[in-house]
Chains A and B, each alone.
Chain A
């Protein structure tokens, strides 16, 4: 281990590690643009200049390896002057676009100029004119004038996605970033380039001119798009979701997230979302109050189970439910309906070797572990579909809309002949349209709970948007369970109480407490046998 001194603070570092990450990890802040912890070192911005004792000139901290006995100064007059100079030169050609630039408020050029730069520009030259509003790809808009040529985006496309669409063209002060001729920035992670862009050059089209960032409240939660469970910050303002940005978690998503995942926030305030239970009366679905919807759902399912036996009843769970909800759902189906025909429906899609997983829902693994799977001699999802096609089922309880993708159109049409079809979903799907009772669920942004990703990491979903009195999926399960005579915790839905019940009864959760699942999640014990 190498012992170094930065600003009079003694730090033990791994020899060979670079000075900048060592300083940052130890709480010494050095401003930087081109350095990114997950990308190769470029050394192009020259902002992280520091003074190292014994070296004749200032040196960039991002590309200087730590050496035993090194004495570094990051705050002396010489360093401050160099920094001021670098920032002044970066601003010589930077347009005064802040009032119309989406990055304003989270722009590192603004922040560092304010903290380390000079108050007013001295340059009398005309600013260089380059292209504005360049359409780089389906999700990215680019402003060449605002670019400071740190090349983070170029390195990202070379090193992380390995698609190399971007490059720096031209020489000297005529250099600019652009896509190679004939290509477009259309990889699955293209918006990450806007995240790592320290200025407002690369911007997400989806968020472009929608809201100033200082109005956003950010909640640390999990992307519900696939089984990876990327850590995200969900930006909301006045109870509406506006954008989702990745949050660093080296065990899950490093600092990236896919473009598809960024769109998942759009369901939260979707105008077509169901808000009140629907009940079929004289052939059409009409809105009813919650008490009536729940009572009808419970009596339809309960009667069918009593009259035709549990084998004629089936239930389909959703991998969008949290662990706690899945646990109570499985309990409700097994004890309330006595039914072994229970399985999980998950939409499958594309996967890649970076982040994207095939299961397009967050909690497939968690739901299966907590009992949303066929019981002994119970039917699985395909079996339920087959039984439906043969007319062997009388009652079905479907949570989520993913079963649509698993069953054929003929099977879906058979749903109309069921005596009882209770559907719980955010939207009216082809299954919901044929239901006797439809109960509206809540989206990932409106509930609290835990989810387990594909690798068995337990992570927290946090409430970012207030559901404004709409009961959560957990409340629906509790209500149905009480009506069907299943013993559940008293009061309204509380994931913490259910979690302690899970921790007491499921092996992999033993000893885990709800509060101990921090912002980065925890690894669940590996199940043996």
Chain B
């Protein structure tokens, strides 16, 4: 459908800065200045009032529902809880998980010899966590997936292991959430 052309009469832009815009600049500078001074004062007395977090050094405590990258739960004995059942591999919509199972002499006879997650592919959807029958893979609060090269984005089992006590909040959350 052809559009109807409407001629709009525009006012010519004033050549010099007029009073209303000068006023707006002054108001803006006042706001910036107020924040600057109050924060400066906050730093001086040791009680900063800003919301900005100095990210790599400082982190905020995210709510347990937050889904960062998936990690493997490490048991007290240092081994992974994962038994390489392959359900996360099957559930993964982006096919980013690769598991090679193998047999051990432990009581649970199966373990993942290789457990790789391609973090370039992972989209933090959490279906692996939902599929897992062992609570062995959970979504963590980690979000830094950048790497200098492609092999660096492939996270191996050793990189993914996180002790269970550090994941307590999330484990508690999924137990309540999925009703298990």
A interface residues with partner B (beta carbon < 8 Å): 98-100, 104, 132-133, 208-212, 214-215
**Which residues of B are found within 8 Å of A132, using beta-carbon distances?**
109
Instruction: Evaluate contact between A212 and B86: CB separation under 8 angstroms.
Output: yes
Partner of B101, one of A98, A104, A133, A209: A209
Distance between B127 CB and nearest chain A CB, rounded to angstroms: 16
How far, in whole Å, are A99 and B112 apart by their CA atoms in the complex? Answer: 12
B83 interface residue per 8 A CB criterion: yes
Closest 10 CB pairs of A and B: A99-B85, A212-B86, A100-B110, A209-B101, A100-B83, A209-B103, A99-B133, A99-B83, A209-B110, A100-B109
B interface residues with partner A (beta carbon < 8 Å): 83-87, 89-90, 101-103, 108-110, 133-134
**Which residues of A are found within 8 Å of B89, using beta-carbon distances?**
212, 215
Instruction: Evaluate contact between A208 and B103: CB separation under 8 angstroms.
Output: yes
Instruction: Evaluate contact between A104 and B85: CB separation under 8 angstroms.
Output: yes
**Which residues of B are found within 8 Å of A98, using beta-carbon distances?**
85, 133
Instruction: Evaluate contact between A99 and B103: CB separation under 8 angstroms.
Output: no
Given the known A-B contacts A98-B133, A132-B109, A133-B109, are A212 and B85 also in contact in the complex, defined by CB atoms under 8 Å?
A: yes
**Given A99-B87, A215-B86, 9 extra CB contacts under 8 A:** A100-B85, A104-B85, A208-B103, A209-B84, A209-B103, A209-B109, A211-B101, A212-B86, A214-B86
Given the known A-B contacts A100-B110, A132-B109, are A209 and B90 also in contact in the complex, defined by CB atoms under 8 Å?
A: no
Distance between A471 CB and nearest chain B CB, rounded to angstroms: 31
**Which residues of A are found within 8 Å of B86, using beta-carbon distances?**
211-212, 214-215
**Which residues of A are found within 8 Å of B83, using beta-carbon distances?**
99-100
**Which residues of A are found within 8 Å of B101, using beta-carbon distances?**
209-211
| Least CB separation from B110: chain A residue | A100
How far, in whole Å, are A98 and B102 apart by their CA atoms in the complex? Answer: 16
How far, in whole Å, are A210 and B87 apart by their CA atoms in the complex? Answer: 14
How far, in whole Å, are A132 and B110 apart by their CA atoms in the complex? Answer: 13
How far, in whole Å, are A212 and B83 apart by their CA atoms in the complex? Answer: 12
**Which residues of B are found within 8 Å of A99, using beta-carbon distances?**
83, 85, 87, 110, 133-134
Q: List 21 A-B contacts (CB under 8 A).
A: A99-B85, A99-B87, A99-B110, A99-B133, A99-B134, A100-B84, A100-B85, A100-B108, A104-B85, A133-B109, A208-B103, A209-B101, A209-B109, A209-B110, A211-B86, A211-B101, A212-B85, A212-B89, A214-B86, A215-B89, A215-B90
Partner of A214, one of B90, B109, B110: B90
How far, in whole Å, are A208 and B102 apart by their CA atoms in the complex? Answer: 9
**Which residues of A are found within 8 Å of B134, using beta-carbon distances?**
99
**Which residues of A are found within 8 Å of B109, using beta-carbon distances?**
100, 132-133, 209
**Which residues of A are found within 8 Å of B102, using beta-carbon distances?**
209
How far, in whole Å, are A524 and B30 apart by their CA atoms in the complex? Answer: 98
**Which residues of A are found within 8 Å of B103, using beta-carbon distances?**
208-209
Distance between A107 CB and nearest chain B CB, rounded to angstroms: 13
Distance between A262 CB and nearest chain B CB, rounded to angstroms: 20
- Among A98, A99, A211, max chain B CB count under 10 A is at A99
How far, in whole Å, are A214 and B134 apart by their CA atoms in the complex? Answer: 19
How far, in whole Å, are A100 and B111 apart by their CA atoms in the complex? Answer: 9
**Which residues of B are found within 8 Å of A208, using beta-carbon distances?**
103
- Among A104, A132, A211, A212, max chain B CB count under 10 A is at A212
How far, in whole Å, are A210 and B114 apart by their CA atoms in the complex? Answer: 12
How far, in whole Å, are A214 and B86 apart by their CA atoms in the complex? Answer: 9
| Least CB separation from A132: chain B residue | B109
Distance between B43 CB and nearest chain A CB, rounded to angstroms: 54
How far, in whole Å, are A104 and B84 apart by their CA atoms in the complex? Answer: 13
Distance between A386 CB and nearest chain B CB, rounded to angstroms: 52
Distance between B97 CB and nearest chain A CB, rounded to angstroms: 12
Distance between A256 CB and nearest chain B CB, rounded to angstroms: 27
Distance between B110 CB and nearest chain A CB, rounded to angstroms: 4
How far, in whole Å, are A63 and B109 apart by their CA atoms in the complex? Answer: 39
- Among A100, A104, A132, max chain B CB count under 10 A is at A100
Distance between B24 CB and nearest chain A CB, rounded to angstroms: 63
How far, in whole Å, are A102 and B87 apart by their CA atoms in the complex? Answer: 13
| Least CB separation from A104: chain B residue | B85
| Least CB separation from B86: chain A residue | A212
| Least CB separation from A208: chain B residue | B103
Distance between B85 CB and nearest chain A CB, rounded to angstroms: 4
**Which residues of A are found within 8 Å of B84, using beta-carbon distances?**
100, 209
| Least CB separation from A213: chain B residue | B86
| Least CB separation from A100: chain B residue | B110
**Which residues of A are found within 8 Å of B87, using beta-carbon distances?**
99
How far, in whole Å, are A249 and B81 apart by their CA atoms in the complex? Answer: 44
How far, in whole Å, are A104 and B85 apart by their CA atoms in the complex? Answer: 9
How far, in whole Å, are A133 and B90 apart by their CA atoms in the complex? Answer: 26
Distance between A499 CB and nearest chain B CB, rounded to angstroms: 39
